[in-house]
Amino acid sequence: MLEGSDMQEGWYDLSNGGALATSPKINIAFDSEIFVPNINDLLPLFELSFTDPNMQRPILPGEAEHDDQLTHLAPGLYDIYDNQLASWDELVNKYGLSVSKDFYEYDVKRDTSSLYYIINNNDELYGAAKLKIDNSITRIGDWAFRECSQIKCFVIGNNVSVIGNGAFYECTGWCTNLVLPNSVRSIGDGSDLFPGESFYGCVRLKGVTLNNGLQEIYESSFEGCTSLTGALTIPNSVTFLDESAFRNCSSLSSLQLGTGLTMIETSVFAGCSGFKGALIIPNNITNIETSAFAECSGFTTLQLPNTIQQLGWSVFEGCSGLTGTLTIPNSITYLGSSVFEGCSGLTEVVFNATSITTIPQSLFQACTSLQNVQLHNNVVIIEENVFQECSGLKTINFPASLQEIRSMAFYECTRLSGNLEFNEGLTTIGFDAFGYCESITGVKLPNSLTSLEGRAFEFCTGITSFIFGSGITSLESNAVRGLHSLEYLYLPATITSVQGFGIYECENLKTLVIASETRISFPQYTLESCPSIERICVPEDLVDDYQNYFSNSSLHGRLAYTIEAI
């Protein structure tokens, strides 16, 4: 079949090798919204088919399972709004979808939400280079060009104010830039079952310029546009930026946020790993919702304004390129879990948010370069996993207000060093809270501590001295386990029982002090893995009792120890 200017005027039958035909007919499956367009001189011949009026969407050619699902009409041109045959001139004037003489350029001159069913099932449009939205159009309807992958370029008319939900959904052939005219006020409108998604999955779209005057960008409008490059500027006129609007636009290189926003919604920029340089949150932003910048691994610095109030879950999780000092301003009243998890380049945190008394779960987990943390004096609870796997952490202040350190809060902080001394007021240290903190050299627990959960200091191989406070009444299983460098262990008078494996795998333990006024029984295996014990110090009036106890226990002959008075 000939193309473009080489084509003769007339009707072409594609089912017959593209030969000229003698009479026109057209096949477009449609519902009540789809119109029969004027396809000027070039459309193929098909059969016009209506669907059952009760169907939610039309049955497209080839989809019908039974012939009685389609009502076949006589060949001819139909104006379906009037349900009657019409001339081409009448249809041109009334509906205005026309094909230019250039064949490869199409003009859309009617506001409709159903063009998908015409264009996407029209073989003659495949391979089209450009489709222009006429200046007479003010709204591009919902799902108008959905999956029109054959169109390489769309030009949006200068009077379009609303781009409907899913209007260009997965137009995967679009490989040029998107320039929005100044008339556009909204991308998506939230009215559909799936609001937004206007340019969702346009994977070859090269760039986007958002116009001044744009006010609303709805959910997932540009999600998955992985080829978008260059700088993204959100105009000051934008007041609503919905969730996932630019999610996984991984090739964008920089971001400038406008002054019209007060909130950044969930996952708006999640996965935009190509962003580089500084992320500056403007003063007008008060809330940043869940995962808004998650996995934006290219940002190198973060500036939070003193007006910011809320940071939702995982807002900056996986922003591994952030470096230097992070200051959390005093204006913050809410922090979700995992906000900075995986920010592996941060080296220091200054926590100034005094209204935050509970440090949320996993807040700084896997911040592997973090070396120093400064907490304010109102912190009461450090939740689970807050500093887990912060393998570079060397120093942290434990404020006098601190009452609880929960499970795995400092797990595998392998460089946390020096002697840990906690203020009176601390009541709980959770399971594995300091497990595998290999550089701690000493621990002194306060008398206020009443709960030390199992494995709290498991395999802290650098500890040489461990002193329990008087708030502990029982040494739980694995309470002192794997402290391979431990030489001195003090059990206060309040500890009257030791559970199985309470003191275990402490190969270099030399001195054990037991201050209880009643003799403690040590379950089998509890001390058997501590072969270096030289001195067991007990109250003077219990020396003989302990001599008899150990002589008759499974430890007899296994330890070269002496029992002496404290």
∠ CA(451), CA(452), CA(458), 5° rounding?
170
Q: pLDDT for 293-305, tens place per residue?
A: 999 999 999 999 9
| Tokens matching residue 329 | 């301003």
Integer Cα distance of 507 and 305 in angstroms: 52
Query: What is the DSSP secondary-structure string of 185-243?
Result: -EE--S-SSS---TTTT-TT--EEEPPTT--EE-TTTTTT-TT--EEEE--TT--EE-T
Query: pLDDT digit of tens for each residue in the chain (566 aa)?
Result: 333 334 344 444 444 444 444 443 333 332 222 233 333 322 322 222 333 333 233 333 333 444 443 344 334 444 444 445 555 556 445 544 333 323 233 344 444 433 333 344 444 444 445 677 777 788 888 887 888 777 788 888 898 999 989 989 999 989 889 989 999 999 998 776 778 999 999 999 999 999 999 999 999 999 999 999 999 999 999 999 999 999 999 999 999 999 999 999 999 999 999 999 999 999 999 999 999 999 999 999 999 999 999 999 999 999 999 999 999 999 999 999 999 999 999 999 999 999 999 999 999 999 999 999 999 999 999 999 999 999 999 999 999 999 999 999 999 999 999 999 999 999 999 999 999 999 999 999 999 999 999 899 999 999 999 999 999 999 988 999 999 999 999 999 999 999 888 899 999 999 999 999 999 988 877 888 888 998 999 999 999 999 888 887 766 666 667 788 88
222 and 192 Cβ atoms separated by less than 8 Å: no
Quote the tokens at residue 366.
Answer: 């896997």
Q: Any alpha helices (H) in 372-529, and if so which ranges?
A: none
- CA-nearest of 232, 230, 228 to 203 is 228
> Of all helices (H) and strands (E), which one includes residue 136?
none
Q: What are phi and psi of 222, to 5 degrees?
A: -120, 15
147 vs 145: CA distance, rounded Å? 6
Tens of pLDDT along 217-265? 999 999 999 999 999 999 999 999 999 999 999 999 999 999 999 999 9
Q: Report the DSSP beta bridge partners of residue 457.
A: none
- In order of 468, 470, 477, 482, 485, the CA distances from 492 in angstroms are 6, 6, 17, 21, 21
Owner of token pair 């049955």? 59
**Cα separation, 499 vs 448, whole angstroms:** 21
- Structure tokens of 498? 């030791």
Beta bridge partners of 30: 50
Amino acid (1-letter code) at residue 474: S
* Predicted pLDDT of residue 554: 63
Nearest to 511 by CA among 497, 527, 531, 490: 490
